[in-house]
Chain A
Amino acid sequence: GAVVSQHPSWVICKSGTSVKIECRSLDFQATTMFWYRQFPKQSLMLMATSNEGSKATYEQGVEKDKFLINHASLTLSTLTVTSAHPEDSSFYICSAEREGKETQYFGPGTRLLVL
Chain B
Amino acid sequence: EDQVTQSPEALRLQEGESSSLNCSYTVSGLRGLFWYRQDPGKGPEFLFTLYSAGEEKEKERLKATLTKKESFLHITAPKPEDSATYLCAGGGSQGNLIFGKGTKLSVKP
Contacts and interface: CB of A to CB of B under 8 A. Distances in A.
Contact of B46 (A6, A32, A43, A106): A106
Contact of A44 (B32, B42, B49, B87): B87
Nearest to A5: B43
Q: How large is the interface on A (under 10, 10 to 19, 20 to 34, 35 or more residues)?
A: 20 to 34
Contacts, number: 53
SS of A interface (majority)? strand
Interface residues of B, number: 21
A7 interface: no
A103 interface: yes
Interface stretch (A12-20, A64-72, A76-84, A107-115): A107-115
Contacts of A6: 43
Given A43-B101, A43-B102, A103-B34, A111 B46 contact: no
B52 to A, nearest CB: 13
A105 B32 contact: no
Given A102-B32, A102-B91, A103-B34, A46 B96 contact: yes
- Please list the 4 inter-chain residue pairs (A to B) with the smallest Cβ-Cβ separation, ordered nearest first: A106-B43, A43-B99, A106-B44, A43-B101
